[in-house]
Chain A
């Protein structure tokens, strides 16, 4: 009981204040609190340690489980490029073979042909064999058709860009 350090008029109010009941939170309140306590949630946020560790021998013959070091993608790419470059330089210097030129010319020859074939095939699928034949005949209409297609593509692209820009502005 607290000592009375207030005037007599406040006594009934003080008595009522002391009679105020405690209010209860929801029944699952404790569970929600427990779910938020980090040290009681060992699985949450822990790395899958078993899958990413290996044994390493330490000084004194003691073994310890340590996490495997991750090799960065940039680091691996740099290493590979350096190795390939060194091999090419060595081949050029000692065997007098210009490996890079050889690879590039082979690629152009090979893939140029492949690209032409794929392009012709795709064109035939989209436009149809009769259109292709018509275009190949060199008629004036063919030029107009090419122009119409180009204008249509550019117009369509511009319309899509404009619509995207409007949508972005509205979303913002």
Chain B
């Protein structure tokens, strides 16, 4: 049986349809997770084009291996795990350093910075609130960018994606104690960088 809409269908059920080769199921999985995955990767690599390429690689890898998905795990955890692996591999290869949401680290010209910057939009705030929020958001983004990539992934998964420590340990393939240490140190560093944040 095929659903007309996937709105109330769980990830696991959509995956079953995808395993049957249904393109609309693949598109539904992409639709559900393209923004969280892209956001996580972007906040780690700080370059829009690179983040798109890595997010694309992540989805292609996951969806080409959809038959290997084990339903006892959350689909999103599996997806984030692949995204994290691909991103960490990329960072190790490139030794990319951070830094600004205004553009890629290698953006030496204003044109390049504009091309690689990400536009953040919000539909509910007033222009002043939006401006304040953007400034605050930019400070947070900038502070996250200063963290080590391993800390970045852990703190984003914990505080942006609301994953438990156990789930994060599974996603980043690190012992639970290491994950807790990383998150503790990341919080300390963020407090140092954002000391005057009220």
Contacts and interface: CB of A to CB of B under 8 A. Distances in A.
B68 to A, nearest CB: 13
A40 B20 CA distance: 11
B194 A23 contact: no
A32 B38 CA distance: 14
Contacts of A12: 197-198
A1 B74 CA distance: 18
Contact of A30 (B31, B39, B118, B160): B31
A20 B136 CA distance: 9
B114 interface: no
A2 B52 CA distance: 29
A170 interface: no
Interface string B29-57: 01100111011001000000001100110
A94 interface: no
Interface stretch (B59-67, B76-84, B86-94, B103-111): B59-67
A63 to B, nearest CB: 28
B96 interface: no
B23 interface: yes
Interface residues of B, number: 42
Contacts of B159: 2, 14, 17-18
A34 B27 contact: yes
Nearest to A25: B38
Interface string A31-54: 011101111100000000000000
A16 B198 CA distance: 10
A39 B34 contact: no
Nearest to A33: B59
Interface residues of A, number: 29
Given A13-B191, A22-B35, A23-B38, A2 B64 contact: no
B137 interface: yes
Nearest to B52: A25
A12 B194 CA distance: 10
Contacts of A25: 34-35, 38, 51-52, 55
Interface in A1-29: 1-2, 6, 9-10, 12-14, 16-26, 29
Given A10-B191, A16-B140, A30-B30, A21 B120 contact: yes
Nearest to B51: A25
Contacts of B137: 16, 19-21
B133 interface: yes
16 contacts: A2-B158, A9-B191, A10-B191, A12-B198, A13-B187, A13-B190, A17-B156, A17-B159, A20-B141, A20-B160, A23-B42, A23-B118, A29-B30, A33-B56, A40-B21, A40-B26
